[in-house]
């Protein structure tokens, strides 16, 4: 069974532990802007996580298709950015419907921490789970993200 990050907005308290744990695990430093997932804190009613679904959410492969230099591949269920090929044009960041394709010197995204996602480990309220993909949960997040514009 393929497992993915599944967001549960109804459980998110907005503590942002996942973002801190993510960047400290990957970089040894903390920077919310570098986290491979995002917690949105919109108002008193609305906190929710947005995670990389590795395109299982709709199969559109937006980042893969839009990359002008074919640096992004969808292999073995994971979306990966080839750091050699990436030109940091920012196209993938623009098109990702979940806003979780990130950019520093090069583009990068969630790698599921080699099968043991740190965000899931640290989430105190089961707002992010590592389990069978749940399309309805991805749709919820997409809807919540929509009014941002």
> Should residue 130 be labelled a site residue for another protein when binding is judged by CB under 8 A?
no
> Should residue 140 be labelled a site residue for another protein when binding is judged by CB under 8 A?
no
Listed residue (141, 134, 136, 119) closest to 1, CA to CA: 134
d(CA 101, CA 73): 13
Nearest distance from residue 119's CB to another protein, in Å?
A: 11
Q: In this structure, what token pair is assigned to residue 114?
A: 């080699």
| Burial label, 134 (beta-carbon count in 10 A; 0-12, 13-18, 19+) | middle
Nearest distance from residue 111's CB to another protein, in Å?
A: 17
Which segments of 44-138 are extended strands (E)? 46-50, 72-75, 78-81, 102-103, 107-108, 128-131
> Should residue 83 be labelled a site residue for another protein when binding is judged by CB under 8 A?
no
Give the interface segment with another protein, choosing from 12-20, 56-64, 73-81, 86-94 (CB under 8 A): 12-20
Contact map string, positions 14 to 53, toward another protein, x by CB under 8 A: xxxx--xx--xx-xxxxxxxx-----xxxxxx-x------
d(CA 72, CA 24): 24
124 or 135, CB closer to another protein?
124
> Binding residues for another protein, per CB under 8 A?
10-11, 13-17, 20-21, 24-25, 27-34, 40-45, 47, 118, 121-122, 124-125, 148
């Amino acid at each position: 069974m393929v497992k993915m990050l599944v967001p549960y907005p109804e459980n998110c308290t907005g503590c942002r532990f996942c973002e801190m744990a993510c960047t400290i695990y990957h970089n040894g430093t903390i920077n919310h802007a570098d986290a491979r997932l995002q917690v949105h804190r919109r108002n008193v009613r609305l906190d929710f996580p947005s995670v990389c679904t590795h395109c299982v959410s709709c199969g559109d492969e937006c980042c893969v298709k839009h990359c002008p230099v074919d640096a992004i591949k969808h292999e073995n269920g994971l979306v990966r950015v080839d750091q050699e090929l990436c030109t940091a044009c920012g196209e993938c960041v623009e098109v990702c419907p979940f806003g979780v394709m990130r950019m520093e010197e090069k583009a990068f995204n969630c790698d599921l921490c080699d099968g043991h996602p740190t965000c899931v480990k640290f989430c105190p309220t089961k707002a992010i789970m590592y389990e069978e993909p749940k399309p309805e949960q991805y749709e919820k997040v997409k809807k919540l993200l929509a009014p941002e514009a």
